[in-house]
Amino acid sequence: MSTVPLHPAASADLPRQRPGLPAAPSTDALVARAQSAVDKAGVTADRVVAELAEHEQTGHRVVRLVDADTRQVVGQVPPEVVLDLIAWAMDVQRRKEDRDGQH
């Protein structure tokens, strides 16, 4: 997963939604959901850094919440497991299309 610092202009650096995928949430919506996750986790905001990233297989934008001291990821919106499931489904669909196109 590639990352860029969370900054208003940062979303312009990321590729747009890939064809055939459901629309990704806006950067503002991701940040709001990430802030909610921080609030629920009880982590102090001065120790958490939000990073805007892109899931390599799907192209979806994500917000990762990183502990500023340890650099450990303490949360991500949307969760990695959801994006991996989407990537798997995309791969299955691609293989089906490839198979059907060869007959």
pLDDT tens sequence across 25-60: 777 777 777 777 767 766 666 788 888 889 989 988
Q: Which of 83, 85, 87, 86 is nearest to 64 (CA)?
A: 83
Nearest to 14 by CA among 50, 65, 48, 51: 51
d(CA 17, CA 80): 17
- Give me the residue spans of the domains in the chain: 2-101
DSSP state of 22: P
Bridge pairing between strands 61-67 and 73-77: antiparallel
pTM summary value: 0.55
The 10 Å Cβ neighbour count of residue 51 is 19
For the stretch 55-68, pLDDT in tens is 989 988 898 888 88
Rounded distance between C-alpha atoms, residue 10 and residue 52, angstroms: 7
